[in-house]
Structure 1
Amino acid sequence: MGYIKDSPFYKDAIHEFNYPSGNYYLFDTFVVAEINEGVLFTWDDHAKPITEEFTHLYDNNGEDIVYISNRVNLYSVKPSDWVKFFRNGYNLRGYAVVSYTSRGIFNSLIEKLFMRNSFQSFDNLGDAITWAKELTQKIEVDSENEQSA
């Protein structure tokens, strides 16, 4: 298992937020979340206030951000709450789940059913961060090409 604090990526974090539900590490184009053990992560109790705060910090609705859920702890997610996320006008460039167990990988497949954007599942944090960087770089290049055309 790989906590972000124990990785070489931690030094590049712009900001760290510690909420009762978990820790969030903000980077230029992605967020790494590590939810605490035993939490039932729901839209109303956890995601909504965090999403609102990050929307103000990044100054957009998330459309340029990749969210990485680094599942170093066992917790539950209410997958259908992703509908509330999108219904409230939020978006993501991509969503990655880093699972260290076969059960975690299975659970991420259920979440994928509710996603409207790029989704990937990984077994290590480094690969997820590489994917997030590549995804946002590809979008930047495509945007520049459209502007010059």
Structure 2
Amino acid sequence: MGMIHYYNIEDGELFVFDEFLICQITEGVNVTPDHSEILNQVIKKHFQGKDLVYISNRVNSYSVDPLTYVETERIPNLVAIAMVPDDDIMRKNAEYERNFYDKPYEIFNNLSEAIEWSHRMINDHVLN
């Protein structure tokens, strides 16, 4: 389950693994629907023909335009989103953002729990 690729993008970092990718956005960034375009490019390159889970490791404080989730939801092989907020404010923001995403979306206390859930989501999706 080692990392396949690392991207240092303008607004953060992407860590690509076999069944999921972890995104860490830079402090103070405003994530907009354009972010989904970068995400989509990485997904097309590394996950062509296979499902994945997006894990947001929120170690920095930033804002998200809720319309970003409308765009992200259109990525066909993205089966779920996992959020790992660093504090209570980030957790409340993640809970609010959940309202804009209709696929599975869960909030976790740590990265290990999110990764474990990601494996279950991929396995469940393959079985269905």
TM-score, structure 2 normalization: 0.89
1:85 and 1:70 map into 2 onto residues whose CA distance is: 17
1:38 is aligned, of 3, 8, 28, to 28
More helix by share: 1
2:62 equivalent in structure 1: 75
2:8 is aligned, of 18, 37, 43, to 18
TM-score, structure 1 normalization: 0.78
1:129 equivalent in structure 2: 115
1:48 is aligned, of 32, 37, 51, to 37
Superposition CA RMSD, Å: 1.7
**Aligned AA for 1:34?**
Q
Dislocated runs of 4+, deviation >6 Å: none
For residue 100 of structure 2, give the secondary structure of its aligned residue in structure 1: coil
Shift of 1:20: 1.3
2:47 and 2:84 map into 1 onto residues whose CA distance is: 23
2:109 and 2:72 map into 1 onto residues whose CA distance is: 25
Shift of 1:83: 1.5
> Is residue 2:17 matched to residue 1:27?
yes
CA contact (8 A) 2:12 2:23 kept: yes
2:88 is aligned, of 96, 102, 109, to 102
Percent identity reads 31
More strand by share: 2
Shift of 1:100: 1.6
- Cα deviations across residues 27-69 of structure 1 (Å, max 9, x unaligned)? 111110011111101112x221231232233114xx7110000
1:135 and 1:54 map into 2 onto residues whose CA distance is: 17
For residue 126 of structure 1, give the secondary structure of its aligned residue in structure 2: helix
1:129 and 1:53 map into 2 onto residues whose CA distance is: 19
Aligned residues: 127
- 5+ residue gaps in structure 1? 1-8, 144-149
- Cα deviations across residues 95-119 of structure 1 (Å, max 9, x unaligned)? 0100121111110111111112111
- 5+ residue gaps in structure 2? none
1:84 and 1:136 map into 2 onto residues whose CA distance is: 21
CA contact (8 A) 2:31 2:68 kept: no
